[in-house]
Each structure stands twice: as C-alpha cells, then as structure tokens.
Structure 1
Amino acid sequence: MKAKLIRALSYGGGLLIVSFGITMTILADLGTGAWDALNVGLAMKTPFTVGNWVIFIGIILIIVNALITRSRPIVLSLLTIVLLGYFIDFWLIVVFQHTLFSGLLLQLMILLLGIVILAFGASIYLQAEFALLPIDGFMFAIRDLLGVKIMIAKTIAELIALIVAFLFGGPIGVGTILVTFLLGPLIQWFFPRVGKKLNWKTAH
C-alpha cells in the first residue's frame, strides 16, 4: 500500500514539478525547449492555451507513435499529457498571470532555475514507471523505425519540433540550447539520488 502511494505521489507530484519548471523557462523569455516552443508558438497563433496544445500535440504523437510501431496507441499516456497540460495552464494563467521578468541576468537565473526544476521533476515522475510522455514515445519510435541510437533518435525528434516551432513563431533562443544540452545530464544526475530517497519498490 505504501509503495503504491509513493508511486502515485511520484507520478502526480513529479508532473506538477515538471510543469512548474517548464513554466519558468517560458516566463524567462529567452527561449524554451523545442517542444515547449512549439506549444507556445501554436498558442500564440490560436485561441487555445499552451496547456491545450500540450494535450493536442500529445494526442497526435500517440497516434503517430502507434502508426510507426504498428501497435496499439498507449492510452495511458493521455492521462500524463492531460495532467501536464492542465498543470502548465494552472501556473501560467492562475499563478503567474501577467508576470514579466526584465533584465538579462534575472531572466537567465529564472531560465536556469526552470531547467533544474524541470530535470528534478522529471527524475521524480520517471520513478513511478507509469505511462511515458508521448514525446518520449516518439523518440523510441524513431529509434525503432530508423534503427539508430537513442541519442540520434532524440536529436531527430527535437529537430522536427524545432522546425515546426520556428514556423509558428515559437520562442527559440539561448534557452533552447541550454535546455537541449543541460536537461539530459541533470536528469541523469538527479535520477539515482531521487530513487534512493523514494525507494518505493522496497516499501511495504
């Protein structure tokens, strides 16, 4: 019972922290990760919110992933993207509405803080070993389709998102570069340390 509770809290709490980190990178206004830039760009061009587009793009990727891998869509991933989408809108619309950060140094600090928080949240969410985000599923689908290494598949997926984000005027800048190169190593650093603290597999 305790293990299930820890797993549920890791899943929900981790996604909440991830959404806060993403929000910080958006509010820093120095550029966000490729997929977040795509969601922001689409939100700027349509009546829908950033969180809405997290859900819409997630649904599209669930379908695309199923077609590429010739398997059934991972329906559980819907819960992940719905939670993440609503959490992001909660921070952007309810908590930080009309919040603007000015000054390059402050913006850079907010951006770096957001990346660290995002990595920390991801390391918690991943401990639950529940449904992956469709973005991660897309990366694995590309790997299987092209027979390439996971880092190459990740690069291809990021480039696709970056190109579409650019076409829709998404926030691409120094933040995009920092997110791309810092996020992976930070998650790797946090993951085993968070795992030792949670240790839900041995909890009773």
Structure 2
Amino acid sequence: MSLFYRSLFYLLGLLILSFGATLTIKANLGAGPWDALNVGLSHLIGLTIGSWIVIIGIVLIIINALLLKKRPELLSLFTVFILGFFVDFWMSYLLNSFNYFYFKNQLILLVVGLIIIGLGIAMYLQASFPLNPIDHFMVSIQKKFGMNIMAAKLIGEILALLFAVLVNGPIGVGTVIIAFGIGPAIQFFHPYCSSIMNRLSHS
C-alpha cells in the first residue's frame, strides 16, 4: 500500500508541477528560469518545450553525478520524460481550451502557477522516486555545500537564469518572482505533504 501512495504522490506531483509551470509561462510576465531556458531553446533551435526539458534533464543528470561523485541517476530519465510529456500536454491543452486565462490578471496567474509548482514539487518529493534532475540539482547543491533547500534552490534558479538570458528566453518580472519564490513555496508545502504521506503509509 505504501508503494501505491508513493506512486500516486509521484504522478500527481509531476502533473501538478507541470500544470503550474505552464501557467507561469502563459502569464507572459517572464517564465521561471528553467522554463525560460527551455522556451528560449525551443524558439532558438526548435523542438517542443517538453523535448528540451528532457535534453536539459540529461545534462543535469551528468552534472549531479559529478557534484555528488556518484554514478549518474539514470532512473531520473523516467521522471524527466514524464514531466516533459505533461508540460507539452498542458501547453497544448491550455492553448486550445483555456484562452480565457489571457483575460485574467497576469500577476495573479503567475503567483497561482508558482504556488502550484511548489505544491507539485513538495508532493512528488515524498515518493522518494528518482527526482526531476532540476530538483536533484537542488538536492545535490544542498548536500555538497550543506545548505537548506531554499538556498540551494535559489542558486540553481540563478544559474538557469544566466543561461536563459544567453538563449533569449522569456525573462521578466515574473522570472525574478519565481526565482525567489519557488524555494519558499516548496518549503511551505513540504511538511504538510510529508505529514499526509506518513499518515497514509501507516494507515
């Protein structure tokens, strides 16, 4: 039963995370650093945003292995492929069916997306399945330098932002809000999700 709940948290978390990321992109105020990098690469070179999530994920898997001096976490490919698929799904679905989002307050849409991203990450982390390489990068920085999750996430976001600028990704005030807000959002939801998972696992 524990495996069932872990799998449920894992898939729901990735689905929620990808939905939140899509909302922040649709807000058109500047995407989160990693999303801005993927969008910029998509516009510059081609391929879908989801495809670039997979490609960047593979690069990060190698970097994470070097940081922790361990073998590459190849099972993370499973996570990144699912996330890439979900993002492409939401981008297509929202583009075709939820155009009314464009008539709402963009800042509210961005903040809602940010909160949803934090919830999604906090949820799927509970499964203890292979991490999204971006979040594994956060954990790698945390372990390598002894930081808390919030600080480690911020460093990763800033690095992604620098590369996003180089590929002319959609950078704006929203990018800054997400870069500084994603860590606290994860930190806020993490204990609640952990508590729920513990109760379900022992029920």
TM superposition score category, shorter chain reference: 0.7 to 0.9
Counterpart position of 1:135? 134
Task: Give the stretch that moved more between structures: 58-67 or 178-187.
Answer: 178-187
1:8 deviates by: 0.5
Identity %: 46
Task: Determine the structure 2 residue equivalent to 1:117.
Answer: 116
| Contact 1:119–1:187 (Cα < 8 Å) also in 2 | yes
Structure 2, gaps ≥5 residues long? none
Q: Contact between 2:153 and 2:183, CA under 8 Å: does it hold in 1?
A: no
User: Which residue of the partner structure matches residue 93 of structure 2?
Assistant: 94
Contact 2:32 2:174 in 1 (8 A): yes
Alpha carbons of 1:141 and 1:116: their partners in 2 closer, same or farther (altered >3 Å)? closer
Q: 1:55 to 1:67 in 2, by over 3 A?
A: same
1:72 maps to what in 2? 71
Q: Does 1:202 align with 2:182?
A: no
Deviations 1:157-179 (A, max 9, x none): 22221111001111111111211
Equivalent residue runs for 1:53-68 within 5 Å:
53-68=52-67
Find the aligned partners of 1:79 and 1:110 in 2 and give their Cα distance: 29
1:86-143 per-position Cα deviation (integer Å, ceiling 9, x unaligned): 000001023424948546x611111111111111111211111211221232234445
2:143, 2:9 → 1: CA distance?
Answer: 29
Which residue number corresponds to residue 45 of structure 1?
44
Helix, strand or coil: the match of 2:196? helix
| 1:49–1:74 Cα change, 3 Å | same
Q: Which residue of 2 aligns with 1:169?
A: 168
The total of aligned residue pairs comes to 200
Secondary structure of 1:195 counterpart: helix
Residue of structure 2 in register with 1:183 after alignment: 182
RMSD value, Cα:
2.2
CA contact 2:38–2:49 (8 Å) conserved in 1: yes
Letter matched to residue 23 of structure 1: T
Rate the CA distance shift 1:8–1:72 in 2: closer, same or farther, 3 A. same
- Whole-angstrom distance in 1 between the partners of 2:67 and 2:196: 37
TM-score normalised by structure 1 residue count = 0.87
Compared with structure 1, are the counterparts of its residues 78 and 110 closer, same or farther at alpha carbon in structure 2 (3 Å cutoff)? same
TM-score by length of 2: 0.88
